[in-house]
């Protein structure tokens, strides 16, 4: 009996997936579909077996391959549509990253400009900061203000030795009474025939005595003019001589330029002294008054003295 039902692998059943190579005869069966070892149709003792329907091999294989290709095309097309219609994450990330890179590229430039501004500001503010000493450090002028006085400077208050004080008092008396020079005071204070102070005490005294050396030179010049009737040049030599008053040259010059003296009268008084004490002639008196080893009057002053000698 022949069945009218369609074959499971036939082309009329598209919903079932095709099986590959189903057109061959299974192993263990004869070409007529009868298993090996069984009697064929008409064998005794066995009911007749209907012949197996012939299958369309090529149609089934072609249909199966076509379905596979169609399935792959449909799946590939859907994937292509899905990827093409959807947003591309790579392109989105690339497009989104581009402005970020631009911002990052611009940001260092702005930071560099800001750094330059910040770097320039401390450079201006550091100039006054260099002049201010750091906290705890002494100012530059502080050591000069706190320097201890040297031996030649005036010791303060109770640090002055008694010998220094005594030498200063003696120097003040010599300056007021005898109008001595600075060097004359030192020699007087240290002389073994006079005060015999130490050199340190004498130096302290002459450095701190209240004296006007120009005034002392002038007072000494006036004394030589009034008592010894000396000439202008003679007084200058006496004031600057190392065996005399030992004033400085400028102090002696101040004295003879400032002194008020009558040099003609001084020459006359000296001439009368030579005549009365030494019985000298007028010509000898004239020579003594003008000699560089004598009184050093001018020739006019000596002539005036000799002319008025008998008055």
Does residue 292 carry a pLDDT above 70? yes
CA distance 240 to 233: 11
First CA to last CA distance, the chain: 208
Q: What is the mean pLDDT of residues 22-39?
A: 50
Q: Give the model's confidence band at 222: pLDDT under 50 very low, under 70 low, under 90 confident, else very high.
A: very high
What pLDDT, on the 0 to 100 scale, is given for residue 130? 53
What pLDDT, on the 0 to 100 scale, is given for residue 97? 44
Count of residues for the chain? 311
The residue with greater pLDDT, 114 or 72, is 72
With contact defined as beta carbons under 8 Å apart, do 288 and 295 qualify?
Answer: yes
The residue with greater pLDDT, 90 or 251, is 251
CA distance 10 to 18: 9
What pLDDT, on the 0 to 100 scale, is given for residue 154? 46
Does residue 224 carry a pLDDT above 80? yes
- Mean residue pLDDT of the chain comes to 73
With contact defined as beta carbons under 8 Å apart, do 212 and 174 qualify?
Answer: no
Min mean pLDDT across 25-34, 90-99, 124-133, 245-254 is at: 90-99
Does residue 43 carry a pLDDT above 50? no
Tell me the per-residue pLDDT of 169-179, one tens digit each, with 9 for 90 and over.
999 999 999 99
The sign of the torsion formed by the CA atoms of 252, 256, 260, 264 equals: positive
With contact defined as beta carbons under 8 Å apart, do 179 and 239 qualify?
Answer: no
What pLDDT, on the 0 to 100 scale, is given for residue 231? 97
Does residue 39 carry a pLDDT above 60? no
The helix (H) or strand (E) run that includes residue 168 is helix 162-177
With 0-12 / 13-18 / 19 or more C-beta atoms within 10 angstroms meaning exposed / middle / buried, residue 165 is: middle
CA distance 122 to 15: 86
The residue with greater pLDDT, 66 or 311, is 311
Residue 90 structure tokens: 């790579």
Q: What is the mean pLDDT of residues 289-309?
A: 96
Tell me the per-residue pLDDT of 53-110, one tens digit each, with 9 for 90 and over.
555 455 555 555 555 656 666 566 655 555 555 445 444 444 444 444 444 445 454 5
Tell me the per-residue pLDDT of 117-162, one tens digit each, with 9 for 90 and over.
444 444 445 554 555 555 555 555 554 444 544 444 445 456 899 9
Residue 301: Cβ within 10 Å count:
23
Min mean pLDDT across 101-105, 174-178, 180-184, 252-256 is at: 101-105
Q: Give the model's confidence band at 42: pLDDT under 50 very low, under 70 low, under 90 confident, else very high.
A: very low
Does residue 116 carry a pLDDT above 80? no
The three-state secondary structure class of 35 is strand
The residue with greater pLDDT, 152 or 298, is 298
What pLDDT, on the 0 to 100 scale, is given for residue 311? 86
What pLDDT, on the 0 to 100 scale, is given for residue 105? 47
The residue with greater pLDDT, 279 or 151, is 279
The residue with greater pLDDT, 44 or 70, is 70
Percent of the residues in the chain that have a pLDDT greater than 70, as a whole number:
49
Does residue 256 carry a pLDDT above 70? yes
């Amino acid at each position: 009996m022949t069945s009218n039902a369609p074959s499971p692998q036939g082309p009329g059943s598209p919903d079932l997936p095709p099986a590959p190579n189903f057109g061959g005869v299974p192993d263990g069966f004869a070409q007529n579909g009868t298993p090996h070892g069984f009697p064929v149709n008409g064998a005794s003792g066995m009911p007749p077996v209907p012949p197996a329907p012939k299958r369309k091999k090529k149609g089934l294989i072609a249909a199966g391959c076509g379905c596979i290709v169609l399935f792959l095309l449909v799946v590939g097309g859907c994937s292509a549509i899905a990827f093409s219609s959807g947003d591309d994450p790579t392109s989105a990330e690339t497009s989104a990253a581009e402005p970020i890179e631009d911002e990052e590229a611009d940001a260092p430039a702005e930071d560099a400009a800001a750094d330059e501004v910040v770097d320039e500001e401390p450079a201006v503010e550091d100039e006054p900061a260099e002049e201010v000493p750091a906290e705890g450090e002494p100012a530059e002028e502080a050591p000069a203000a706190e320097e201890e006085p040297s031996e030649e400077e005036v010791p303060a208050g109770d640090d002055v030795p008694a010998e220094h004080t005594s030498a200063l008092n003696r120097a003040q008396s010599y300056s007021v009474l005898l109008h001595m020079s600075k060097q004359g005071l030192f020699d007087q204070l240290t002389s073994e025939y006079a005060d015999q102070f130490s050199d340190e005490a004498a130096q302290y005294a002459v450095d701190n005595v209240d004296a006007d050396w120009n005034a002392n030179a002038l007072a000494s010049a006036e004394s030589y003019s009034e008592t010894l009737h000396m000439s202008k040049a003679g007084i200058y030599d006496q004031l600057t001589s190392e065996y005399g008053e030992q004033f400085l040259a400028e102090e002696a010059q101040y004295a003879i330029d400032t002194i008020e003296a009558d040099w003609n009268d001084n020459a006359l008084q000296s001439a009368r002294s030579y005549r009365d004490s030494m019985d000298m002639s007028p010509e000898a008196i004239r020579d003594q008054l003008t000699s560089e080893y004598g009184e050093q009057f001018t020739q006019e002053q000596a002539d005036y003295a000799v002319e008025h000698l008998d008055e």
